[in-house]
Amino acid sequence: MNIFELFEQQARERPRQPAIVETTHQGEQSTDYDELHHAVLQSCTLFERHGLMPGDAVLLFQPMSVALYVYLLACFRLGLVAMFIDPGVGRDYITQCCRIHPPRALLAAPGAQLLRLLSPSLRRIPVKFTTGHWFPFSKSARWHGQRLTTSPVVAGGDAIALISFTSATTGAPKAIARSHDFLLAQNHVLRQSLALRPGQVDMNSLPIFVLANLATGLTSIIPAGDLRHPAAVDGATLLRQLEHRHAQRLSAPPSLIERLVAACERDGQRLQWPLAVYTGGAPVFPQLLQRLAGIAPLAQIHVIYGSSEAEPIAQIEYREISSSDFEAMRLGRGLLAGKPIAGIALRILAPHPGENIATLTPVQLDAMTLQPNAVGEILVSGEHVLTGYLHGSGDQETKIRVGDTIWHRSGDAGYLDNGGRLWLLGRDREIVRDGHGEAYPFPIECAALQAPGIQRAAFLLWRQRRCLVVQCADAAAVRALDELRRREHIDAVMRIDRMPLDRRHNAKIDYPALRRWLTRHTPHRQTQRSSD
């Protein structure tokens, strides 16, 4: 059994229901389940005709689109390994990824084909497909006109279905290999956690969530715009899509949600229907939730916390956050993520400087597990939690074996409160330790963002000084941070015109890039200094 077979079942049950709606240069295009199923079978024939065999890796450089899911589902059906690398990470990183798991085929949109001119590792890939009309030394990936494959579905179990890459603390890539069984387990958890129901209409920009939609029988509306840069997508266009398609759900990172909220606030628009909103992939701070509730008063707003290795981990609904919770976040207790989801085991691991904890006994793990309200590293296990990286690279630092169970060390600091809810404090490696004690990024950033006029905030240690960098339209907004500055012993508050953010969701602070900015601008941009 694999994800393709779940999708195929939906195609039999609801052939004329739209599966994916996308916006192209020709306007809005709707593909129903039957059409998508036929395209997948035709693409299987295309891949087979060019000699691709089960276990071969296909490197996909393809934006969110109908075509992406056609090729992805075809890979699952044939037992090919779908491989994803962010094309913007640079030539050296791509080369390292291709060494870790050499692809047999490359399938790329015309723009991404240009990477072959810069990357010898891409040029060495034996079979090259283009999704455009033509590109030198490439085969057409057009499935139209191909016969429907009749070969049986053979892939499943612990065979690798999908490989993506994340970075180690050294910056070197680690390969996240997901088996067919893993994807099925993740799909089951997502279906329950996201309350997926066949027939629902979901505007969705989160790729793995769209895959779950296809396996469950939902209609996915891909937001119009360049989703490689969600913080630049036009919010008014998103609103028109939601209204036109009568969407019942919205699944998107906070950067895309912010664009929708800003457009509604600017134009005096409100979402006056019971929309179910699911947001995650980056920290979701309380001021965005409050603004979203203001323009969508009937919405059910859910925040999802997870990681590439474990998605999801915890979630909370906006109406479950009390006024005292909001006050606690304002006062620096952290960012409330909610209760761990069903199907995951979560512990808070005590600090262990210098200890090798790759293997523990159950008694040792219990001894290292912290009680409520004590801060440590978030540790998780479950069927949808990655048990190891490809070739074991990174396992020593991020996995703990306890008997037959593998626990994943998230690298995130946090704690459980007396009610069993998880509070996030930020990446463990970004904790500031100095003469004033320990200070964590999220509590300070969360508090700063609730000050009027502060759009983004980042807290870090820079040249042995506690620094708070803020993005705000008006320099006067910095004065609202005086109380926070004194309370947290912040040495300097600096303004930045544009906060560096992660490439994927445009929502997480890119701390290495921010440190490079500080190197260039610290002598000129300091605006406040603590008198402590």
Residue matched to tokens 């052939």: 15
Residue type, 420: G
Predicted pLDDT at 170: 58
Residue matched to tokens 């006029």: 453
Which residues, in sequence order, are CB contacts of 119 under 8 Å at separation 6+? Answer: 91, 94, 95
Rg (CA), the chain: 24
Residue matched to tokens 């990470």: 89
CB 499 within 8 A of CB 509: yes
- Token pair listed for 71: 């090729």
Helix, strand or coil, per DSSP, at residue 419: coil
CB 435 within 8 A of CB 345: no
Q: What's the rounded Cα separation, in Å, for the pair 334 and 353? A: 23
Q: What's the rounded Cα separation, in Å, for the pair 19 and 40? A: 13
> CA distances (Å), 449 to each of 82, 284, 285, 439, 493, in order?
39, 11, 8, 17, 13
CA 389 to chain centre: 18
CB 205 within 8 A of CB 247: no
- Token pair listed for 133: 């009309």
pTM given for the model:
0.93
Using CA atoms in the order 517, 283, 161, 19, what is the torsion angle rounded to 10 degrees?
A: -120
Q: Using N-to-C axis directions, what is the helix angle for 66-78 and 33-49, rounded to 10°?
A: 60
Q: Using N-to-C axis directions, what is the helix angle for 207-216 and 3-13, rounded to 10°?
A: 50
Neighbour tally for 274: CB within 10 Å: 11
Is the peptide bond between 102 and the residue preceding it cis, with omega within 30 degrees of 0?
no
CB 281 within 8 A of CB 507: yes
Query: Alpha helices, DSSP H only, in 50-90?
Result: 66-78
- Token pair listed for 276: 């179910």
CB 203 within 8 A of CB 221: yes
Residue type, 418: N
Q: Render each residue's pLDDT in the chain as its tens digit; 532 residues.
A: 999 999 999 999 999 999 999 998 888 999 999 999 999 999 999 999 999 999 999 999 999 999 999 999 999 999 999 999 988 888 899 999 999 999 999 999 888 888 888 889 999 999 999 887 777 778 888 898 888 988 888 889 999 999 999 876 557 899 999 999 999 999 999 999 999 999 999 999 999 999 999 999 999 999 999 998 888 999 999 999 999 999 999 999 999 999 999 999 999 999 999 999 999 999 999 999 999 999 999 999 999 999 999 999 999 999 999 999 999 999 999 999 999 999 999 999 999 887 899 999 999 999 999 999 999 999 999 999 999 999 999 999 999 999 999 999 999 999 999 999 999 999 999 999 999 999 999 999 999 999 999 999 999 999 999 999 999 988 888 989 999 999 999 999 999 999 999 887 788 999 999 999 999 887 644 444 433 3
Predicted pLDDT at 528: 45
Predicted pLDDT at 283: 95
Neighbour tally for 104: CB within 10 Å: 19
Instruction: For each of the domains in the chain, give its residue range(s) and CATH number, in order of start.
Output: 36-180 (3.40.50.980), 432-529 (3.30.300.30)
Predicted pLDDT at 355: 85
User: CA quadruple 211, 405, 168, 125: dihedral positive or negative?
Assistant: negative
Residue type, 200: Q
